Structure 1
Amino acid sequence: MGNRARRSPTVNASRVGGSDHGIGLALKIGFLAAVLGLQVSSGRAEHFQCLAEGLVYSPTLTPFIDALPILSTIEIMNGSQLVLGAYKITQVLHSNLSATTLYAYGTSEDTATYPGPTLEALRNTTSYVRFDNHITDNETFLTTDRSLAWANPPSGGVPIVTHLHGGQFQSDSDGHPNGWYTAAGDHGSTFTTMNHTYPNTQPASLLFYHDHTVGLTRITVLSGLTGLYIIRSPTEEPSNLPTENNEISLVIQDKTFWENGSIAFPDTGVSPENHPNWCPGYFGDTILVNGIVWPYLEVYPEKYRFRILNGANARFFTLTLSNETLQFIQIGTDGGFLPDPLYLTEITLAPAYRVDVIIDFGNMTTGTSVYMNNSAPAPFPDSISVLNPATVNSVMEFRIIARASRRSRSRNNYTIPSKMTAAPSITYNLTTDVYRNMTFEEKLDADGNRIHVLMNNARWTDPVTETPTLGTVEIWDLINFLPDAHPIHIHLINFLVVYKQSFNATAYTANECSILVEYPYSGSCFTEAPQEPNSTLVGWKDTVIAYPSMVTRLWIRWTNREGGPFPFNATEGPGYLWHCHLLDHEDNDMMRPLVVRE
């Protein structure tokens, strides 16, 4: 793939997502409103008015003139160690945008790309990956807020520690936030090794790796330190799924750019007297897929399998297709294949969500286009107008092209499975199961601006309170008192969502009603009976959307997926963690340690 975007013929600059949008005008209106403090749709807008001085909008960029890059792949199935480094590079993200400075993973500086190479592993075959740090900058090129709990290397530099999101392995390979290290040799308090061992004993699934340094994750991920990781298992794969060139991975993110192509990032915080530079959510005005702004992909009138990651810092995506005859046929989620396919007209992805979908272009006419669009508001599920310019409504274009004469029509005989795996079961044991109430709160300054977003009213550096025992079942009730949704990620295990249930958060906060969140549920604050998981919550998950004013109940078994022991000692090492995957929140204390006990 290299560091260049392949050019394609110019298209109408105002055509985005199949409808006309004034891109430059929308950006100017939206971001001028933010800078000038114009009236917006929500009273919470002040939480997000912390744009860098002079930051108004990205330069106007013509959509759909650059081809979607197909991510490079490295197989890690032969037992030898792969060495990946983190490097500082420049890469062209749009043909009309100057090269952007990034941090990126690669086997060398010349091969490093954003996103990083996709690593392909085989189930039950151990993989070994070493992550070296070759970034010699004295500090990150985006503004670091030193008032947060952060790595603060004594010799300076850009610390990294890589986490394989969704993986199950011993905690010294988990990328503990305090296990960071720099190119100069400084390291954090829980550093053990740069050599990570991944047993790959979990079911076939799409994972991803990214930097996880304490207090810097929002910066390093936005700067480019992320990549995909696929565990394959031939015995689990339904027969005749789209494969080879008909299986394509998509990493979706958002950014805002300066005129010179560099990433625009706030340098003035929402509450400067408390946090000079921290903002509660980074929302870009430009959508990238596989490191290209609004790309296009040429497809034959056939079935395609797309493995999709929402790699954004804070933005949710609700994806739709502009042709109403097409659907997303979802066959997998975070933890692998679903029991049955879901036929969806839209699909919502929180940050860190992965989905495995089939789109059947078989009835599409050659020469036509289908647009993948986005309708998710920001912050989700509320909406603040300045965070939702028209440009974020578009994601990418699919161009239907004729099959080459040598391409057999039989290539479209890929099938959509009717059944993929056994449905998981959930059982309660009232005498042995542990029930945990997990609350989400915010701390505000005198002007009502966020200072911290917390879980169980505790900070990252407070003593550990979650100490599950190997082999046991726990029921976690995520109780969200905040006005926005939070994607909650738990390291080490997969879990199932039992239900979600709305409650009156205002009345509860005013002590006008109660919540007794135990089994069975009770309490006068609830406004509905428990609701079964919707399409955003089904299947085995490692990240879940905790919706506002809702209790989201999780069933967690501290074992491998089949209920047996882990093939490693989960009680050793620095331990694991659970946190919000809105990276700006994670970096400001919405992250807690988790230690597994015998």
Structure 2
Amino acid sequence: MALLLSRYFVHLLWLLAFVHASPLAGNSEAHEVGVTLAKFHASSTAVMSECQMLDPSPSLTQFVDSLTFPPLINLSSSSGISDESVLTIGAYKIIQKLHRDLPPTPMYAFGTSQKTASVPGPTLLGTQDVEAHLRWENHIRDETHMFVVDDSLHWARPPDGGVPIVVHLHGAEVASASDGHPDAWFTFNATDTGTTFSTLEHRYSNEQPPTALWYHDHAIGITRLNVAAGLSGVYIISSPDEQKILPIGLPLVIQDKQFYENGEINFPMVGVLPDYHLNWCAEYFGDTMLVNGKIWPFLKVLPRAYRFRLLNACNARFLILSLDNPQMHFLQIGTDGGLLHEPWNLTSLTMAPAERVDVIIDFSKLSNGASVILNNSGPTPFPSGDISQMPAKTYAVLKFIVDEDNGITDGVLHEFETANVNVSSLLIDQKPISEEDAVVSRMLGVVEWDDSNHMPMTFTLDNRTWQDDVTQYPMEGTTEIWELMNLRINAHPIHIHLVQFRVLNQQTFSNRSFELGTCSVNIAYGENGSCYTEPPRDPYIYQRGWKDTVITWPNVVTRVLIRFTQRNGLPFKFDPSEGPGYAWHCHIVDHEDNVMMRPFVVTANESLRALSRNMVSKCKDV
């Protein structure tokens, strides 16, 4: 099919292959890996497809339902689990009331039982350096998914039917057998299992610094369906030292969905290119905003400062969050990987799908009865979409109401000054990561393949798909630079399993000159023949700190510095070379399901590392 389409639709096909053998500064061992990239017709404007133009949701009044919070399970308390016991969490089919005026909605949900299952799932609280032992079970009895599965995609295809799931703890330093490998899926009672399935029981060492992670389904080819159906939740790692300074905080899980009059979720059933992918749609954008499973809720707060743990759990929607009171701001104290060395005062928060932000909002200067709305102005698609075309109600997300008598007490900072102090005391065991330590740099293309009408057909990373052979074999204990080269007009959030990394820099390049082959990304900015249009610049402020998901901007090379160790620089306390390996992928899960995902294997084998370091990509048939 791809070959047939290429004969009719290719406006421009360009190929580039290169090997750059110049050593990285300070390390004579380093080499840049070769890369070959290919792309269909380029476009300069965002195009919305018919599959994204769903019937609008019923009209629902905003801010009539109180925000709720998922149940909290302390994994290290006496009522939770110990080193020798297991907490069982299952996936169930439930109905949940999302809005006062909307009938209950069928969903898939996590919980310790059918009765307690909720969307989002329970918030799991782990203690740093105390291992948690969880058993994930599948109790979804549906013979087919509640949404239409596109059989043209590479997906689980259980022989006996059912709804495959596998749980990934996003952001965790974890052995690959417990990582939620996409091919380790299993159906109801593990009747059918994927090729890398080994166990329902996952061990989480919780050895990384305090932070907010999240768990979600990761089954190959249907992650977008399972996440949209409700299979996700928050996982917090805390420590006694952190809790001396800060409360655990309140999770705010933000999603967008579309609904039918009967309360069911409206998810695309017809594909963007039905002749190619019958049911797959490139991005799912709902016209209704949810927080913690409630549609446009309100939250009563005291006139105090609160800690919030924000998660963008949307399939594809980027968020630009702000408060409608110009006198208020966000005090950001943490990112994906944990606390920052110093807080940042921000008037807006840009969040890609899967990113977490740790913030403090101070309501102490507001009078009783005052309200503040948390708004979103992120365009769809991002950043090229036309914000004026967004459904009007998707601007609002959540309403805070100051109530001196009935405000929520959880998450309150009793001494706000402690939030403004330097939190470096919690980071003293963190070994800095240095560019000079890098032993290899990999140029990796982030590519969308379109037809002549700019409609997306498929996506690749480094011109390869999930099914292609492994080409990244980083060696445990080493540091690498991954140069993520976004060749399209929209941003892609790239998530790398196992590790936290730092964004080194970003650099724009001329996509047009690059695709014509008249310049090279191996030539430094300012020299003849360079593709770069500016010198490398520091990452945006919201991309600093430790990250596991990074926004790769269009026509920009985003360089990330990855050390394949624990955050503190010490070896993992498990063998990362055992098991099926890890993944890196776009976290627009609709793209991930259309093979925008690649495997990588951590190795202790020098010969494999050398093979990976010097490998030149092969041109793919189109």
- Say yes or no: TM over 0.5: yes
Q: Deviations over 1:535-569 (max 9, x none)?
A: 22110000000000101111111111111100101
Q: Which has the higher contact order (CA 8 A, sep 6+)?
A: 2
Q: Quote the Cα distance in structure 1 between the aligned partners of 2:257 and 2:302.
A: 30
- The answer for the alignment partner of 1:132 in structure 2 is 137
- The answer for the alignment partner of 1:145 in structure 2 is 150
Q: Quote the Cα distance in structure 1 between the aligned partners of 2:167 and 2:530.
A: 44
Pair 1:476 & 2:482 matched: yes
SS class of match (1:496): strand
Number of matched residues? 547
The amino acid across from 2:257 in the alignment is K
- The answer for the alignment partner of 2:50 in structure 1 is 49
Q: Is the 8 A contact 2:581 2:602 kept in 1?
A: yes
SS class of match (1:342): strand
The amino acid across from 1:63 in the alignment is Q
Tell me how far 1:412 sits from its aligned partner: 4.5
The amino acid across from 1:567 in the alignment is K
Pair 1:104 & 2:104 matched: no
Q: Is the 8 A contact 2:524 2:532 kept in 1?
A: no
SS class of match (1:222): helix
Q: Deviations over 1:6-53 (max 9, x none)?
A: xxxxxxxxxxxxxxxxxxxxxxxxxxxxxxxxxxx984325x32148x
Q: Is the 8 A contact 2:45 2:489 kept in 1?
A: no
Pair 1:392 & 2:403 matched: no
SS class of match (2:156): coil
- The answer for the alignment partner of 2:442 in structure 1 is 436
Structure 2 residue corresponding to 1:450, chosen from 443, 452, 456:
456
Q: Is the 8 A contact 1:516 1:523 kept in 2?
A: no
SS class of match (2:225): helix
- The answer for the alignment partner of 2:303 in structure 1 is 301
Structure 1 residue corresponding to 2:171, chosen from 163, 166, 175:
166
Worse overlay, 501-510 or 221-230: 501-510
- The answer for the alignment partner of 2:469 in structure 1 is 463
Q: Is the 8 A contact 2:491 2:553 kept in 1?
A: yes
Q: Quote the Cα distance in structure 1 between the aligned partners of 2:312 and 2:462.
A: 26
- The answer for the alignment partner of 1:340 in structure 2 is 342
- The answer for the alignment partner of 2:423 in structure 1 is 420
Q: Quote the Cα distance in structure 1 between the aligned partners of 2:523 and 2:89.
A: 45
Q: Deviations over 1:402-458 (max 9, x none)?
A: 2479x9xx974333232112587442348x611100101122235432111110110
Distance 1:404 1:296, change over 3 A: closer
Pair 1:191 & 2:192 matched: no
Pair 1:489 & 2:495 matched: yes
Runs of 5+ unmatched residues, structure 1: 1-40
Q: Is the 8 A contact 1:437 1:517 kept in 2?
A: no
Tell me how far 1:520 sits from its aligned partner: 12
Q: Quote the Cα distance in structure 2 between the aligned partners of 1:383 and 1:44.
A: 6
- The answer for the alignment partner of 2:568 in structure 1 is 562
Q: Quote the Cα distance in structure 1 between the aligned partners of 2:45 and 2:536.
A: 30
Structure 1 residue corresponding to 2:580, chosen from 574, 577, 581:
574
- The answer for the alignment partner of 1:29 in structure 2 is none
- The answer for the alignment partner of 1:545 in structure 2 is 551
Identity %: 47
- The answer for the alignment partner of 2:322 in structure 1 is 320
The amino acid across from 1:287 in the alignment is M
- The answer for the alignment partner of 2:57 in structure 1 is 58
Pair 1:222 & 2:223 matched: no
Q: Is the 8 A contact 2:44 2:489 kept in 1?
A: no
Q: Deviations over 1:38-84 (max 9, x none)?
A: xxx984325x32148xx420000000000000221011113321100
Pair 1:373 & 2:380 matched: no
Tell me how far 1:270 sits from its aligned partner: 0.9
Tell me how far 1:341 sits from its aligned partner: 0.1
Q: Is the 8 A contact 1:271 1:445 kept in 2?
A: no
Structure 2 residue corresponding to 1:505, chosen from 497, 508, 511:
511
- The answer for the alignment partner of 2:89 in structure 1 is 84
Q: Quote the Cα distance in structure 2 between the aligned partners of 1:549 and 1:235.
A: 42
Distance 1:385 1:347, change over 3 A: closer
Structure 2 residue corresponding to 1:530, chosen from 533, 536, 555:
536
Q: Quote the Cα distance in structure 2 between the aligned partners of 1:404 and 1:217.
A: 39
Distance 1:97 1:521, change over 3 A: farther
SS class of match (2:51): coil
Structure 1 residue corresponding to 2:278, chosen from 269, 273, 276:
276
Tell me how far 1:264 sits from its aligned partner: 0.5
Worse overlay, 72-81 or 476-485: 72-81
Q: Is the 8 A contact 2:445 2:486 kept in 1?
A: yes
Q: Quote the Cα distance in structure 1 between the aligned partners of 2:44 and 2:601.
A: 39
Tell me how far 1:491 sits from its aligned partner: 0.3
Q: Deviations over 1:250-309 (max 9, x none)?
A: 000000001111000111111111100111100000000000000000001000000110
Q: Quote the Cα distance in structure 1 between the aligned partners of 2:130 and 2:523.
A: 41
Q: Quote the Cα distance in structure 2 between the aligned partners of 1:292 and 1:391.
A: 15
Q: Quote the Cα distance in structure 2 between the aligned partners of 1:573 and 1:386.
A: 48
